[in-house]
């Protein structure tokens, strides 16, 4: 498949904007959430919302490093759009009575660590590192989780909101894969050398150390929701399928690395990977929240209110 025209994509993004006030959050249907569903859904939605939010922050970092003006503007929009998704998901939580007062839902510890990492180091990362990781996160976590949600929840407002969210996400993925292919166009060995130099960067190693347990933790949450983990793996395999559809895509060393990692994640019998990473999930689960610094102020920009005067 040929890469998309980014200028046309930017125009499309600008012309297909929606706002929270386009949805009637008080419309009937909230009662379709069952009592049994409610507590698990609450946790699930909190995770989903935080993934959107960390995705937003990653796009903000990408915007800083984008190689062209068009891509910079696209990422600036994507940053805001991911925030919109998080806001909309919070509005759904509010609708379902899952928010206490004005409190933000608590992120799980692995997300909390990723937030910390993004805040400190994301802006320093080269564009193609996050440019490859973000599509994986979007396709695997965001995309797969959304599908699970729609299969489970009958509330029509939830479906209405996710129809809009998914439209945005399909554009995010389209751009994501195009950028991955752009990276694969130059000589592989140079890219490989550059990549290896990057991998040696301790800041990136810290990032990898936060990313790996996050995926496993999400898998655990998916299972806790009573959903088959195979669906998550299927979504992750989609990354390999789409990302590797062209020669350029396959030549991107970051794609190869993330793809390989995806294979490890989806192969539960790979004990070499899963034993230490699951241990990491357990260890991070023991990190007292007080040990982490205060959440960065970009987190406080989340809101479930469609309109505001302050």
Partner 1 sequence: MSTTQDSPKPTKPKAARKKKVAARKATARKAPARSKPVEKPVSVLIVGAGFAGLGMAIRLKQAGIEDFIILERGNAVGGTWRDNQYPGAACDIPSNLYSYSFAPNPNWSRSFSGSEEILDYVHHLVAEFELEKHIRFEQNVAELRFDEKQGIWTATTDSNNTFTGRAAVMAQGPLANCSFPSITGIEDYKGKKIHSARWDHDYDFAGKNVAVIGTGASGIQIIPELVKVAKHVKVFQRTPGWVMPRPDFATPEWNKLLFRKLPASQQAMRDLLYWSHESMALAVIWNSPLTRIAERIGKWHLRRQVKDRWLRRQLTPDFTIGCKRVLISNDYYPALQKENAKLITWPIARISEKGIRTVEGIEHQVDCIVFATGFDVSNAGTPFPVIGRDGRVMGDEWKGGAQAYKSINVSGYPNLFLTFGPNSGPGHNSALVYMESQLEYALKGVRKIVGEDLKVLDVRKDVQQRYNKAIQKRLARTNWNSGCKSWYLTEDGYNATMYPGFATQYAAQMADFKEDDYETA
The residues binding partner 1 (CB under 8 A) are 17-21, 64, 69, 76-77, 80-81, 83-84, 87-88, 119, 123, 296-298, 301, 303, 305-310
Q: Rounded to 5 degrees, what angle do the CA atoms 41, 46, 48 make? A: 90
Name residue, tokens 């007080």.
Answer: 290
Query: Which of 305, 223, 208, 309 has the alpha carbon at shortest distance from 258?
Result: 208
CB-facing half-sphere around the CA of 133: CA atoms within 13 A: 26
Number of Cβ within a 10 Å radius of residue 164: 19
Structure tokens at 181: 């292919």
Name residue, tokens 């990190």.
Answer: 287
Name residue, tokens 């910079």.
Answer: 72
Looking at the Cβ atoms of 119 and 138, the one nearer to partner 1 is: 119
Minimum CB separation from partner 1 for residue 83, in Å? 4
Looking at the Cβ atoms of 264 and 298, the one nearer to partner 1 is: 298
What is the chain's Cα-based Rg? 19
Looking at the Cβ atoms of 43 and 123, the one nearer to partner 1 is: 123
Number of Cβ within a 10 Å radius of residue 293: 9
Query: Which of 61, 59, 109 has the alpha carbon at shortest distance from 86?
Result: 59
Looking at the Cβ atoms of 105 and 253, the one nearer to partner 1 is: 105
Minimum CB separation from partner 1 for residue 13, in Å? 9
Minimum CB separation from partner 1 for residue 284, in Å? 23
Minimum CB separation from partner 1 for residue 306, in Å? 6
Query: Which of 12, 52, 70, 22 has the alpha carbon at shortest distance from 307?
Result: 22
Looking at the Cβ atoms of 44 and 77, the one nearer to partner 1 is: 77
Could you give the C-alpha distances from 176 to 183, 232, 249, in angstroms and in order? 11, 19, 11
Looking at the Cβ atoms of 269 and 309, the one nearer to partner 1 is: 309
Looking at the Cβ atoms of 30 and 80, the one nearer to partner 1 is: 80
């Amino acid at each position: 498949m040929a890469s998309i025209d980014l200028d046309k994509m930017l125009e499309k993004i600008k012309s297909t904007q929606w706002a929270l006030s386009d949805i009637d959050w008080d419309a009937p249907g909230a009662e379709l959430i069952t009592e049994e569903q409610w507590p698990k859904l609450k946790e699930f939605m909190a995770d989903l919302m935080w993934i959107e939010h960390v995705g937003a922050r990653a796009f903000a970092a990408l915007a800083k490093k984008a190689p062209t003006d068009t891509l910079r503007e696209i990422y600036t929009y994507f940053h805001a759009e991911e925030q919109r998704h998080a806001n909309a998901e919070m509005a759904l939580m509010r609708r379902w009575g899952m928010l206490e007062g004005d409190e933000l839902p608590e992120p799980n510890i692995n997300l909390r660590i990723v937030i910390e990492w993004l805040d400190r180091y994301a802006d320093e990362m080269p564009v193609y590192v996050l440019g490859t990781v973000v599509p994986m996160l979007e396709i695997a976590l965001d995309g797969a989780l959304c599908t699970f949600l729609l299969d489970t929840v009958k509330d029509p407002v939830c479906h209405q909101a996710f129809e809009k969210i998914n439209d945005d996400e399909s554009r995010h993925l389209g751009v994501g894969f195009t950028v991955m292919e752009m990276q694969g166009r130059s000589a592989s060995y140079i890219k490989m050398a550059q990549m290896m130099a990057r991998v040696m960067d301790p800041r990136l190693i810290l990032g990898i150390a936060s990313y790996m347990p996050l995926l496993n933790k999400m898998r655990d949450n998916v299972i806790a929701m009573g959903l088959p983990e195979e669906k998550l793996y299927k979504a992750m395999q989609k990354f390999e399928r789409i990302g590797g559809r062209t020669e350029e895509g396959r030549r991107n060393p970051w794609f190869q690395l993330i793809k390989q990692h995806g294979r490890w994640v989806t192969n539960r019998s790979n004990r070499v990977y899963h034993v230490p990473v699951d241990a990491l999930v357990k260890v991070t689960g023991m990190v007292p929240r007080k040990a982490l610094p205060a959440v960065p102020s970009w987190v406080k920009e989340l809101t479930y209110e469609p309109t505001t005067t302050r």
